[in-house]
Amino acid sequence: MPNHPPPLSLQRQRPGMARCCALVLGAGLWSTAAVAQIYSCVDAKGRRLTSDRPIADCLDREQHQLGKSGTVVKTLPPSYTADERARLDAQRKQEAELQARVQEERRRDRALMIRYPNQGVHDKERAEALGQIDEVIGAVHKREVALVNQRKEIDTEMEFYKGNVAAAPNWLKRKVEDNEKQMLVQKRFLEEQAQEKQRINTRFDEELVKLKHLWTAAVAPRTESRPASLR
């Protein structure tokens, strides 16, 4: 029988059928390849790890590439030595710590801005903090005045003994000793309060420097976004 060419409609279908077959075959090969890309290893902590790509925690040791049936089809040698891995881990740890510090600093800046939206609020809180210290100092000064008056009374009693403490009775000696101790206590307390005032002023001064930068940075984007005619 003579060979007749296939109908024109079938000829037109063949290229499309070929492309479909190629796509199906390619998808099947890709699927098989994807399944084959399974990596397995035991890390430095003794954990069995698996992944569809080389495992970062096992770069200093062998990794096994598993086939579809779970058998080893390839063994990957270590990418890093133990020393290189240690240096890499140290670098990553340092970078993570730096990032954590940056995030913590940003969190503190946001909290500072919320607490002090403008300099008026900041100045008010500084004044209140210093005012509390001044109240304490005022109470100490009153106590000092009372101790000075007490010492005058003691000196009057000591006149009977011509100022000779050794000749005074024990009860009077104790009054002299107690008065002197109390005066020293009040003096030390005043020094501590002066240091506390200095600490408060230093803290608010440092905050104010930072806040001025934060306030300026917060206003700048809003100013830039406004139309030129409204600036």
Instruction: Name 197's Cβ contacts closer than 8 Å, sequence gap at least 6.
Output: 130, 133
Tens of pLDDT, residue by residue over 120-150, are 999 999 999 999 999 999 999 999 999 999 9
Is the pLDDT at 18 greater than 60, yes or no? no
Taking CB atoms within 8 Å and a gap of at least 24, the contacts of 172-180 are 175/150, 179/147, 179/150, 179/151, 179/154
Q: Which residue ranges make up each domain of the chain?
A: 34-79, 81-115, 118-217
Q: Is the model's pTM score more than 0.85?
A: no
Q: What are phi and psi of 41, to 5 degrees?
A: -160, 170
DSSP state for residue 73 in the 8-state scheme? E
**What is the C-alpha separation between 180 and 19, in angstroms, rounded?**
106
**CB neighbours of residue 197 within 10 Å:** 15
Residue 21 has pLDDT above 80, yes or no: no
Per-residue pLDDT of 170-210, as tens digits, reads 999 999 999 999 999 999 999 999 999 999 999 999 999 99
d(CA 125, CA 136): 17
Instruction: Grade residue 22 by pLDDT with cuts at 50, 70 and 90.
Output: very low
Residue 57 has pLDDT above 90, yes or no: no
Q: What is the pLDDT of residue 32?
A: 43
